[in-house]
Structure 1
Amino acid sequence: MPTDPVREDIRTFLTSRRARLTPQQAGLPDFGGRRQVSGLRRSEVAQLAAISVEYYTRLERGNVGGVSEEILDSLARALRLDDVERAHLAALVRAAAPRRAADRDGGVRSVRDSVPQVLDAMTGAVAFVRNAHLDVLATNRLARALSEEALDTAGQPQPPNLARFVFLDPRARRFYRDWDRIAHDAVGSLRAETARTPGNTDLAGLVGELAARSREFADRWDAHDVEYYRSGQQRFHHPAVGDLDLDYDALEIPADAGLTIVTYTLTPTSPHAPAFLRLQQHGRAAAGAPGSDDDGGSPA
């Protein structure tokens, strides 16, 4: 049994969440007979979360060292946790493992179902979710319209990765009108992440691949510069709509360590407002959405 307050909180939180769920509510078959526990059994939670019973038992006892965000997401789905409960569980895990921030898996490759809904609601902004390895995990329509080339995964591993695009795809130098700054920021972001997750083999593999295939990346990596991508302006050249200078903001998702929503916007009085309108029309046309030809002309 846990001996410290945080581990006890984890135990009581998880046991109370499974106690409130019946097999029917969880979508499990009811074989009848007398059940000796209130709610779900540990074995049933483990089955729903696709983990072993032994591992779930260890987590329920408060032994959460090294637990990944994917496992927490699986538990949240299995136990039908809402967003507040999911954030609370993550906070308990961080409190139980003070060094969690240094050991987190910044390469998580899944997003909760509600996150794409948030992106889709941002109809007037380019918006996408990336992890700390610069993998793009979710996009809204405008992001797909703006970054068609960057999101093209033909010939590269899934999901699309912004660092691979910047350094390995020749189209990036045309797309980013300030390619040198983008390259600096990409390397600096990855360098900062290696300090936060020094044992992450996926990140080490990405860095090794880029260093082997791009002299530009290797030279910049050796400079040991770090960067946090937070806010500013980014200058694009879109092959269909022309130049766009957009303001960007990077918004970390508190409930999902390592994931960030990046948005690009511009003011209606910007000289690039007509190009942004063409981008919106281009996105609607690409999606086959109603109103894609409402200006009577080509989106380009």
Structure 2
Amino acid sequence: MSIKDDVREFLTSRRAKVTPEQAGLPTFGDKRRVTGLRREEVALLAGVSADYYTRLERGNLSGVSEQVLEALARALRLDDAERSHLLDLARASTGPVRGSRRTAVSKVRPGVQLILDSLTTPAYVRNARTDILAANDLAFALYDGILARDHLPLNLARFLFLDQRAPAFFLDWETVADDSVAALRAEAGRSPHDRSLSDLVGELATRSDEFRTRWAHHNVKYHRTAAKRLHNSLVGDIDLTGEAMELPGDGLVIITYTAQPDSPATQALRFLASWATQHADDLARHQSEL
């Protein structure tokens, strides 16, 4: 899909989400074919002409000022992630600039691995393409049978949509799937010329109806914190909180899983940590066989 198509469908989908009542516009009982705003209403709210907004919604953001983009973000009631995505699409509309054809980082520095190993909670490092590149022992134990040292990187989006084990592991699979696609959509806006990312999106859209449907929604989201319900073969169901910490210079994110103090999940993590220590050799051998 071209940048123009992305712009058109993103703006159209956001316009459809805002009702006149939410925007503070009178309707006078007029009958509408859709619940969202009309183009001329968005133009009015953004302080531009209807013809100009129509041009924008057709995908032509090239040369649009940041002031107009900010006005458009307010008119469409965009959240922070959506606003940033709109600005990314506008930058991409000007065409590639020198240094813009970046690809996702595929390795972690030794120092980053030391950070992972020093943590007492399950933790892993992923790149913007959702490749899990490294993890600590407790994360390998938590992702038993899914993560293996000798089989990294593991692409999390590919696991979610193409591996039959995913719904049994992620108990809130629908939510996790929504968030994963929203994160990939945001990254596609930031890095429209990343060939590895576009190849991944193309593969998933071809092989998974669930992914393709979600991708068409054009939702974007920052991945900062989220409740995660997982199923582990040793401890059963476990309720955790995922936290994301960015490593800006590396283009990587550290994901940690924490539990409420004195909760069943805390006890489960302690058991997994003890088990991982006692069975380190067996775990390494089992993972190498996967």
Structure 2 length-normalised TM: 0.60
Paired residue type of 1:129: V
Q: Aligned partners of 1:161 and 1:110: how far apart in 2? A: 13
Structure 2: state its 5+ residue gaps: 1-95, 283-290
Paired residues, number: 187
Contact 1:101 1:196 in 2 (8 A): no
1:112 equivalent in alignment to 2:112: no
SS in 2 for 1:267: coil
Paired residue type of 1:252: E
Provide closer, same or farther for how the CA distance between residues 167 and 101 of structure 1 changes in structure 2, counting only shifts above 3 A.
Answer: farther
Contact 2:134 2:152 in 1 (8 A): no
Contact 1:129 1:261 in 2 (8 A): yes
Contact 2:103 2:195 in 1 (8 A): no
User: How big is each residue's C-alpha offset from its partner over 1:29-86, in whole Å with a ceiling of 9 and x where there is no partner?
Assistant: xxxxxxxxxxxxxxxxxxxxxxxxxxxxxxxxxxxxxxxxxxxxxxxxxxxxxxxxxx
Deviation, 1:101, is 12
1:274 equivalent in alignment to 2:274: no
Structure 1: state its 5+ residue gaps: 1-98, 290-300
SS in 1 for 2:199: helix
Aligned-CA RMSD value: 2.4
Contact 2:101 2:193 in 1 (8 A): no
Deviation, 1:284, is 1.9
Counterpart of 2:278 (choices 281, 285, 296) is: 285
Q: Aligned partners of 2:207 and 2:149: how far apart in 1? A: 17
SS in 2 for 1:210: helix
Deviation, 1:272, is 2.1
Q: Aligned partners of 1:230 and 1:128: how far apart in 2? A: 14
Contact 1:247 1:264 in 2 (8 A): yes
1:236 equivalent in alignment to 2:230: yes
Contact 2:144 2:233 in 1 (8 A): no
Residue identity over aligned pairs, in percent, reads 45
Counterpart of 1:134 (choices 105, 122, 130) is: 130
Q: Aligned partners of 1:284 and 1:104: how far apart in 2? A: 43
Between 1 and 2, higher relative CO (CA 8 Å, sep ≥ 6) is seen in: 2
SS in 1 for 2:154: coil
Structure 1 segment 1-300 matched on structure 2, within 5 A: 103=100, 105=102, 107-122=104-119, 124-151=120-147, 159-256=153-250, 258-288=251-281
Q: Aligned partners of 2:276 and 2:98: how far apart in 1? A: 37
Q: Aligned partners of 2:260 and 2:97: how far apart in 1? A: 39
Paired residue type of 1:111: V
Q: 163-172 or 269-278: which moved more?
A: 269-278
Q: Aligned partners of 1:262 and 1:101: how far apart in 2? A: 31
SS in 1 for 2:146: coil
Q: Could you say which residue in structure 2 is the equivalent of 1:30?
A: none
User: How big is each residue's C-alpha offset from its partner over 1:194-225, in whole Å with a ceiling of 9 and x where there is no partner?
Assistant: 00000111100000111111110011111111
Q: Aligned partners of 1:101 and 1:281: how far apart in 2? A: 50
Q: Aligned partners of 2:114 and 2:160: how far apart in 1? A: 28
SS in 1 for 2:116: helix
SS in 2 for 1:279: helix
Provide closer, same or farther for how the CA distance between residues 228 and 274 of structure 1 changes in structure 2, counting only shifts above 3 A.
Answer: same
SS in 1 for 2:264: coil
Provide closer, same or farther for how the CA distance between residues 104 and 255 of structure 1 changes in structure 2, counting only shifts above 3 A.
Answer: farther
SS in 2 for 1:288: helix
Q: Aligned partners of 1:101 and 1:145: how far apart in 2? A: 43
Deviation, 1:279, is 1.6
Deviation, 1:172, is 0.7
